Structure 1
Amino acid sequence: MIGVRVVQKISSTRGFVKVAPHVVPALDRAVHRLTRGKVLLSAQMLPGVILTSTGARSGLPRRTPIACLPEDGGRSWLLIGSNFGRTDHPAWTHNLLAHPDVEINWKGADIPVHAQLLEGEERAAAWKTALAFWPPYATYQARVEREIRLFRIVRR
């Protein structure tokens, strides 16, 4: 199996940033659906959830696989809107800002949660935690002018 450090190095490359946003979410959704929520392919390296949010403009349900940082024994999670270091915020962050009451699928269980955009000192502390967890986030931030959005989602 490929080591975490190798995956971190690969995920920091510009080539990965071009390909991954098109391939990783599609594979995650397919495997998650085929295994009835038991397996999230990208979670083999990073913990992940399937976020079901309401589209900010469309109002339609949107299912998005997202890497996460579990906190507090699974009572909350950090979601990092890195978008693989691309210039725009990921669509799911706009959805959370417009409709913060969402649902996640965590290890096969559907959990209603509330999302909060982190700012100020709370964001700074969460960002340190995120960088310790997955150092490539620093590379992603260095490539973009926008501040990467961080959300804490907590059980409702």
Structure 2
Amino acid sequence: MNAYTSLIRRLGHQAWFAATARRLVPVDRWLARRTGGRWSAIGRHGLPSLLLTTTGRKSGQPRTQPLLYARDGDAFVVIGSNWGQAHHPAWSANLLADPDAIASVDGTPIPVRATLVTDAERDRLWRLALSTWPAYRTYERRAGGRDLRIFRLEPR
């Protein structure tokens, strides 16, 4: 892991970092869409990221969100941390309503089916996600008792 990636992983625990990054998500989403996922407003941070396109549970419209992920075999593991806010992110509610989605990795769209994980599998995938982004533990504390949703996205 390079020095820049190590720095970003350390900064991820800071409240100001989460607040700033949260504000950059719309810009990041726009830039990632325009470049097929090859560029990011937040920067080339050396962390695995994807664009997740879900179907809006109320609107029925496609909704795209940049997310960090961890690999679990051929599946992707994503965490509904919402930067440690007290409420779940909208994309996670969209997956609960319709688990079919598209994960775009390096500009390649991959149809996936999401499963909300529980019990022993949740513990295993939580540890896997923490190895990618240790700040999830900080986000969990900030979320005020909310269980962060963990999804396993399996290619269809």
Normalised by the length of structure 2, the TM-score is 0.89
The structural deviation recorded for 1:78 is 0.2
Find the aligned partners of 1:99 and 1:152 in 2 and give their Cα distance: 14
Question: Could you tell me which residue of structure 1 aligns to residue 151 of structure 2?
Answer: 151
Find the aligned partners of 2:37 and 2:18 in 1 and give their Cα distance: 27
Find the aligned partners of 1:116 and 1:40 in 2 and give their Cα distance: 28
Find the aligned partners of 1:7 and 1:45 in 2 and give their Cα distance: 9
Question: Could you tell me which residue of structure 2 aligns to residue 32 of structure 1?
Answer: 32
Find the aligned partners of 2:111 and 2:67 in 1 and give their Cα distance: 16
- Whether 1:89 and 2:88 are equivalent positions in the alignment is yes
- The code of the aligned residue for 1:8 comes to R
The number of residue pairs the alignment matches comes to 152
The structural deviation recorded for 1:39 is 0.7
Relative to structure 1, the CA distance from residue 133 to residue 20 in structure 2 (aligned partners, 3 Å threshold; closer, same or farther) is same
- Which stretches in structure 1 are left out of the alignment for 5+ residues? none
**Of Structure 1 and Structure 2, which has the larger fraction of its residues in helix?**
1
Find the aligned partners of 2:7 and 2:32 in 1 and give their Cα distance: 24
CA RMSD between the two structures: 1.7
The within-5 A match list for 1:2-151 is 3-23=4-24, 25-35=25-35, 37-41=36-40, 44-72=45-73, 75-144=74-143, 145-151=145-151
Find the aligned partners of 2:149 and 2:5 in 1 and give their Cα distance: 24
After superposition, give the CA deviation of every residue in 1:24-68 in whole Å (9 maximum; x if it has no partner). x22322322332x14142563311111111011221111111111
Find the aligned partners of 1:44 and 1:136 in 2 and give their Cα distance: 14
Moved more, 118-127 or 62-71: 62-71
Q: Which consecutive segments of 4 or more residues in structure 1 shift more than 3 A?
A: none
The structural deviation recorded for 1:81 is 0.8
- The code of the aligned residue for 1:86 comes to Q
The structural deviation recorded for 1:127 is 0.6
